[in-house]
């Protein structure tokens, strides 16, 4: 925890859980990405945390922005980004939203099928499109489903269709899975991408860009490789598969940009047992759960570090749950969390690594509870 966050929480007197994000850490993370991949443009994934202060900082630093909706496009523009620094990276878009984005100056769109290409050709003529291909996400803590992307064999047909409709067939994108712990996982996707580039060239269409996606991790309970390791591995794969003709590249960090910059302060609402027979397993209920920012604990995929004022005391296994009257609002049960036996009602719990995908997952007014507050310092 940074000294700035520690000082903020020391002086905070409000009730309820909150997220505190230190923009100095975001600044350092952006610098690390820019240095690790100096010839690659950074497109921050706005969905990770769209706080205006974060977007404005990144815009000043020169970042571009990956957006998923008109709302995110407007937020990036309001933060100071110009349209050429914004990608409409969602492959599922209403035609009227494509038209609105085009009117706002956006000229770079993601696709993964012919029908999406046709919408863009009608609503954003002459724009650049890149086709997303499927990736298995092996090695990622939060693998992605088949919702986005097409099989690689289909991509040339999609891009040729775009070309015939007057769009600029610009490149290929993929995503190796969120919280990807293996820097080598980009290699197979880049081999497939290079093959698509060659096939398109044989069709007389020369692609120019590879969108390397996100997947760059933040530290939770386990150490992860430094961003420099990812940069070195990706560059080596680019050189191996493209030789001396490396295309334009972009990355879309979200979690890796803001995850470690944020900490949630929560409170213990209740400590209990379900029966006298379960002497060694306690239930610890917090004032925040799945519905108020911690959705990524689904299937216990993301295990956040928990810090308590009683760290150092003897530990016992605990089921950790949220405060709502929904039975799925349980964070960690399959693998109970080891927490101090001395933990009491009213103790403050710090949940680390929560700068990404928490406020944006937080519901409003479920069970009459407010959404997760955020303070950006």
pLDDT band of 223, cuts 50, 70, 90: confident
Task: Look at 59-63, 117-121, 212-216, 262-266 and tell me which has the smallest mean pLDDT.
Answer: 212-216
DSSP string, 153-175: GGHHHHHHHHHHTT-EEEEEE--
Residue 102 has a pLDDT of 98
* 265 pLDDT above the threshold of 90: yes
Residue 217 has a pLDDT of 86
Per-residue pLDDT tens over the stretch 316-344: 999 999 999 999 999 999 999 999 999 99
Buried b (16+ CB within 10 A) or exposed e, 13-43: eeeebbbbbbbebbeebbebbbebbeebbbb
Per-residue pLDDT tens over the stretch 235-254: 999 999 999 999 999 999 99
With a CB cutoff of 8 Å and minimum separation 6, the contacts of 12 are: 18, 265
Cα 102 to Cα 264: distance, rounded to the nearest angstrom = 38
Residue 40 has a pLDDT of 97
Per-residue pLDDT tens over the stretch 142-191: 666 678 899 999 999 999 999 999 999 999 999 988 888 788 899 999 99
- Nearest of 152, 206, 214, 208 to residue 186 by alpha carbon: 214
Residue 44 has a pLDDT of 98
- Nearest of 140, 68, 76 to residue 105 by alpha carbon: 76
Cα 360 to Cα 365: distance, rounded to the nearest angstrom = 14
pLDDT band of 360, cuts 50, 70, 90: very high
Structure-token pair, residue 35: 């240095």
pLDDT band of 275, cuts 50, 70, 90: confident
- Whether the CA torsion 72, 97, 89, 297 is positive or negative: it is positive
Q: List residues with catalytic annotation.
A: 325
Contacts for 369-372 with beta carbons within 8 Å, 24 or more apart? 369/292, 369/323, 369/324, 370/16, 371/292, 372/17, 372/18, 372/19, 372/264, 372/288, 372/292, 372/293
| Beta carbons of 281 and 273 less than 8 angstroms apart | yes
């Amino acid at each position: 925890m940074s000294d700035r966050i520690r000082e903020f929480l020391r002086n905070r007197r409000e009730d309820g859980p909150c997220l505190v994000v230190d923009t100095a850490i975001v600044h350092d993370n952006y610098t690390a990405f820019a240095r690790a991949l100096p010839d690659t443009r950074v497109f921050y994934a706005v969905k990770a945390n769209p706080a205006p202060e974060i977007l404005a900082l990144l815009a000043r630093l020169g970042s571009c922005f990956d957006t998923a909706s008109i709302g995110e496009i407007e937020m990036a523009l309001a933060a100071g980004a110009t349209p050429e620094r914004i990608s409409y990276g969602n492959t599922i878009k209403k035609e009227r939203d494509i038209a609105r984005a085009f009117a706002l100056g956006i000229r770079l769109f993601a696709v993964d099928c012919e029908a999406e290409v046709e919408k863009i050709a009608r609503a954003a003529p002459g724009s650049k499109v890149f086709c997303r291909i499927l990736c298995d996400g092996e090695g990622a803590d939060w693998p992605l489903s088949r919702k986005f992307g097409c099989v690689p064999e289909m991509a040339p047909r999609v891009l040729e269709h775009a070309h015939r409709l007057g769009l600029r067939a610009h490149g290929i994108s993929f995503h190796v899975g969120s919280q990807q712990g293996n820097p080598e996982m980009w290699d197979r996707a880049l081999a497939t991408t290079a093959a698509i580039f060659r096939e398109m060239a044989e069709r007389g269409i020369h692609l120019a860009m590879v969108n390397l996606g996100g997947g760059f991790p933040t530290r939770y309970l386990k150490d992860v490789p430094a961003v420099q390791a990812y940069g070195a591995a990706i560059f080596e794969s680019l050189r191996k598969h493209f030789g001396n003709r490396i295309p334009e590249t972009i990355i879309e960090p979200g979690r890796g940009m803001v995850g470690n910059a944020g900490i949630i302060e929560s409170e213990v609402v209740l400590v209990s047992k379900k029966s006298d027979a379960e002497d060694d397993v306690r239930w610890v209920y917090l004032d925040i759960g799945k519905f108020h920012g911690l959705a990524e604990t689904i299937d216990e995929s993301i295990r956040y570090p928990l810090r308590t004022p009683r760290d150092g005391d003897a530990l016992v296994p605990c089921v950790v749950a949220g405060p709502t009257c929904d039975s799925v609002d349980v964070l960690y049960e399959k693998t109970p969390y080891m927490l101090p036996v001395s933990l009491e009602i009213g103790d403050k719990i710090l949940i680390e690594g929560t700068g990404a995908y928490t406020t944006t997952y937080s519901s409003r007014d479920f069970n009459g509870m407010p959404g997760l507050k955020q303070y950006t310092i």
